[in-house]
Amino acid sequence: MITATIVIIILLTILLWLFSDLKLGRKNHLHVVGKREYPMRKSDIELFTHGEELFSDLFTELKNAKKHIHILFYIVKNDKISHDFLTLLAKKAKEGVEVRLLLDRIGSKKVEQPYLDQLIQDGGHFSFCHLPKPPFFFYSLQARNHRKITVIDGRIGYIGGFNVGNEYLGQDPKFGFWRDYHLKLTGEGVKDLQTQFRYDWEDATGITFPKTDNYFPELQQGNTEMKLVPTDGAYLQEHFLELLNSAKKEIIIGSPYFIPGKRIFQTLLDLAHRGINITILLPKKADHMLVKEASFPYIIPLLKSGVSIYHYEKGFYHAKTIMIDMKMCDIGTANFDKRSLYLNHEINCYIYSEQLVHTVREALNEDLSHASIITLQQVKKRSVIHRLKEVIATLISHFL
């Protein structure tokens, strides 16, 4: 009896600590974080939807780098593409190119230290970011840098959903074909990617690099109107709501996870009731436990409101995009879930070019051709175990 009482007291103490850590950590975070948004720019933008094409292009540009390479990834793994990536960066550092590599500590927990040591030994600079730290250890453990940024010589930039790992090349037998959206930028917008990397590098290391022509060369305007929108565990919900409420006819949402929270969920319902045609594309396969189950409490009322929801079946769908009325689209790192809305540091690119929006729509149409529509009849047949998982997933949906 005494032992059971002690166990209960310990469990309650842990729960109280976790609750306090999260509440106070969130309060502190919102106190110090600010809303940031870069100006409207004109850039030339290329869309990549296949990992092999993206990494072939990226590696070519890295090999051609002359001055500096700045890279931030959420995930780099311990596999062939990761080893090739890190070896190439070390080689460029040895050639005299300034290399700065920033990785999220939790996302890149599998990266092999010898490759990082070699990069540093050859003259490169490396740091993990978002190391869990007191006084709000559990909150800082959850708030991760989910951005993916590459800037080469201050003139070429990349942003999007791909990380570095064999699965992103479609080489994981569990997921098979991997569908994702990633952008290559040249022109004015690259200066904002460089500014964002500089912000993240200083935040992680306490060290900065100067705003000189070496890092911020003069750039010509491109053909595509665009704007970069970074969020630091706050304000993403406001950005998404602004986009959704601007729709007059149609909204298309693509995301690997769909846990939108109350305000966005209610907005989607209201828009559907107003006659806005809403399509949501999600993966049929799940890459994390309970994320699929966490979406069903939102999916069912949306289906009843006339929203069309599809499951992608060709492989794994990891793209993050919102398209509004064929007039603009958003592609970036933010998922349509609570972790991106309230915890992770993200960066998205708003695109206002009719031509590029049309290109993205073609990609979405192709993805929808490999998807099956979800019906109310199907969801009503969910098993008892599935429904139980939904309850559990709802309770912890903030951290999925």
Among the listed residues 160, 161, 145, 163, the one whose alpha carbon sits nearest the alpha carbon of residue 318: 161
Global pTM reads 0.95
Among the listed residues 27, 18, 128, the one whose alpha carbon sits nearest the alpha carbon of residue 342: 27
Residue 153 bears catalytic tag:
yes
Q: N- to C-terminal Cα distance for the chain?
A: 36
Residue ranges of the chain with per-residue pLDDT less than 70: 1
Q: Which of 68, 70, 77, 146 is catalytic?
A: 146
CA dist., res. 30 & res. 170, Å (int): 38
Q: Which of 29, 130, 292, 318 is catalytic?
A: 318
Tokens 């919900």 identify what position?
237
Q: Which two tokens stand for residue 79?
A: 């596999």
DSSP three-state, residue 344 = coil
CA dist., res. 36 & res. 346, Å (int): 12
The pLDDT value recorded for residue 252 is 98
Residue 146 bears catalytic tag:
yes
Q: Which of 42, 68, 70, 148 is catalytic?
A: 148
The pLDDT value recorded for residue 201 is 98
In the beta sheet, which residues pair with residue 331?
A: 321, 349
Region of 298 (left: φ > 0; alpha: ψ -120 to 50; beta: rest) is alpha
Residue 148 bears catalytic tag:
yes
The pLDDT value recorded for residue 166 is 96
Count of CB atoms within 10 A of residue 2's CB?
6
52, 54, 58, 60: CA torsion to nearest 10: 60
Residue 345 bears catalytic tag:
no
Asked if 224 and 356 count as a contact pair (C-beta separation under 8 A), the reply is: yes
φ/ψ (deg, to 5) at 280: -125, 130
Residue 318 bears catalytic tag:
yes
Count of CB atoms within 10 A of residue 134's CB?
7
The pLDDT value recorded for residue 1 is 61
Among the listed residues 63, 154, 64, 141, the one whose alpha carbon sits nearest the alpha carbon of residue 106: 141
pLDDT tens digits, residue range 69-94? 999 999 999 999 999 999 999 999 99
Residue 79 bears catalytic tag:
no
Q: Identify whether 135 is preceded by a cis peptide bond (ω within 30 of 0).
A: yes
The pLDDT value recorded for residue 128 is 96
CA dist., res. 386 & res. 394, Å (int): 12
The beta-strand segments (E) located in 4-56 are 41-48
CA dist., res. 21 & res. 142, Å (int): 11
Q: Which two tokens stand for residue 378?
A: 């199907």
The pLDDT value recorded for residue 310 is 98
